[in-house]
A and B are shown apart, each in its own frame.
Chain A
């Protein structure tokens, strides 16, 4: 089945260069794709993986270099050009129209017509036929926004296959899937590639890359630094290639839990139906679950952003029937919200102003009713240094910082208030590996100093790497609880899907 040595090259990207302003996204990258190959692109955020594929898909114009298909040079200036050459792409953020049906989404752009009118019955029949041919189970009449994330991704793939593509690019396809959905996705794409489909997989998850790809290209800072086979690679060797020189984070040492910091009994709030849990000082409680099963509401309840509809909440031993965000902060609750740009920072403010946010009325940020500019500056300077936020420029507009540095600043600010409890929601989403490590080690430092952490993440690997205990939420209820040592990814995955003991 595998054909690594002598594949026929069908698509060749040659010496591709692409700049965004002063930033070099791709620097002389060449890549060849053979028929039926499964090529994985790995690299840190900003290494150029997505940029390279967006060039191939006609979304970005390359500044230099060329693309050849079957030995002939082609111009791919729009996605329409790429589709015409049989190249399809499934984006990390889906490009589906929520209020339209599956069939309408799939035929969009090439609709069957009868007498000038949309021929919906034929569209449905054609899409159903495509689904059947490739083994996808989808209701073509369903509105896309009523489908699960896994099904929406199938719609994306069906969209490409319906166009008759011979090359399929998958950009971070499993970021939002459960392990089961991810397995299913890889099983299907593997079968398709055995039938001759060329698949390009962009992924951060080295384990799935190693098990799925027939060839792995490693990008680092816009350059292709290596091309390897999975047989000759390990996760560690790939990670080393991706980042150059870097140590893998050590597993957290065993924790010694102290007093109960959070006690939630039968908590209910919106999608949160009935959740009881406890978090103690000096431990990380991970919340695992598929997006939208009550995690967001749980974080909102703990930080005072939402009021409980039912159940009771105790923080540090005292009941909190009507917690407000301000009261929560005073009690020592810190919050790293899921959406940094909307809920944690003001990008048009300076770094120092952002550090003062939430504590602008306290020393050292204020003296009486006035802003204490000097106090703010010196505190910010020391925080930037302690948390390695770059550049060390307190008066720079925050929006000028990279996402990783913005997040490091948020973490620095939240921990600077000496909290007892840290509620961290997706704290490393979208960060590059270096920043991920920095944020994770800050969480573990905080825990080592006796802090309690509630970690909500859709990335199961992250939850398992950091947590002392894991609670699984499904449809607003706890469907499983695991302590370190009994972590079982398959079992947790089943609980995330609501599968109970047989």
Chain B
């Protein structure tokens, strides 16, 4: 039972890990990203649709690109357009929700999901993306804490004027971070449709993107913290699946809806337990940068 639980965490966690780690990049650069859900959805759909006509690994790359493309829209609205970043992110979620459904019905005339594709191969019992999800947080951690790019990223989210005064282009730096964030979310979405399942389902990613944002906050805007929190939340999800499958009798006592809500309830519980003020967001988070205003 425990081994099965662990195994299902390894399948469920990568999507949230990728998205949460990606979200830290955008937010450390000072751009709020609550559009993770929509970016994941773009990645999930893009990967599944592309994998129908090309090898699945290439499809995953298409999913990554789709996530990045949606993020580029968010970046453009927030950085060039100086729109409200929360509104832009939520708008992206809503638009992608509807757009995904539209494409499903227009291209596949099936509201439930895309046709089945060849799943990603398994390495040691899990998809390669699972192993990538273990390595990537450390790579991103290294990039954020130990590279010039990471130093600038951390600085631009705290005080963009400082970065600009030192001759670094604030808009370019932020744009890159948001697009990268979307690419990670797209990778997470692709993992859902090419590794967890073998097709895109109409409700994907069904709130995992929001869970990723919560993981990022719980992980205090650090890549390793966000990955750890994502793992914890995925555990809640795995626990639900494992409970439902190993003890079907439980369903007669507990309504299924309660079980379905388990991971989300866990997210809420943990966020409410977190000591207030312990999580400090980047100082310039959510503020558009105006060079002639200081």
- B-contacting residues of A (Cβ < 8 Å)? 20, 59-60, 78-80, 83-84, 89, 91, 93, 95-100, 104-105, 107-111, 113, 116-118, 159
Contact = CB atoms under 8 A, between A and B. Distances in A.
A70 B167 CA distance: 22
B150 interface: yes
Given A59-B291, A108-B168, A95 B148 contact: no
B161 interface: yes
Contacts of A109: 152, 163, 166-168
A108 B155 contact: yes
B162 A108 contact: yes
7 contacts: A59-B291, A91-B161, A93-B294, A104-B155, A108-B162, A108-B168, A109-B167
Contacts of A104: 151, 155
B148 to A, nearest CB: 4
A100 B155 CA distance: 8
Nearest to B280: A99
Given A110-B166, A113-B147, 10 more contacts: A79-B165, A80-B167, A80-B168, A83-B166, A91-B165, A99-B154, A104-B151, A108-B168, A109-B152, A109-B168
B166 A98 contact: no
Contact of A97 (B146, B150, B158, B294): B158
Given A117-B147, A118-B147, A118-B151, A99 B158 contact: yes
B110 to A, nearest CB: 47
Given A91-B294, A96-B159, A118 B165 contact: no
Interface string B266-281: 0000000000000000
Contacts of A118: 146-148, 150-151
B252 interface: no
B243 to A, nearest CB: 42
Given A78-B167, A109-B167, A110-B166, A95 B151 contact: no
A104 B148 CA distance: 10
A113 B169 CA distance: 20
A237 to B, nearest CB: 32
Interface of B: 142, 146-148, 150-152, 154-155, 158-159, 161-169, 283, 291-292, 294
Q: Which 7 A-B pairs have the closest CB atoms?
A: A80-B167, A109-B166, A111-B148, A95-B162, A95-B165, A97-B155, A95-B161
Given A83-B167, A109-B152, A109-B163, A117 B158 contact: no
Nearest to B160: A95
B152 A108 contact: yes
Contacts of A95: 159, 161-162, 164-166, 294
Given A59-B292, A91-B165, A108-B162, A100 B147 contact: no
A117 B294 contact: no
A116 B158 contact: no
B22 to A, nearest CB: 21
A109 B169 CA distance: 10
Contact of A100 (B142, B158, B292, B294): B158
Contacts of B294: 91, 93, 95
A99 B147 CA distance: 17
A393 B290 CA distance: 30
A117 B163 contact: no
A105 B159 CA distance: 11
Contacts of A116: 147
B68 to A, nearest CB: 23
A97 B292 contact: no
Contacts of A60: 292
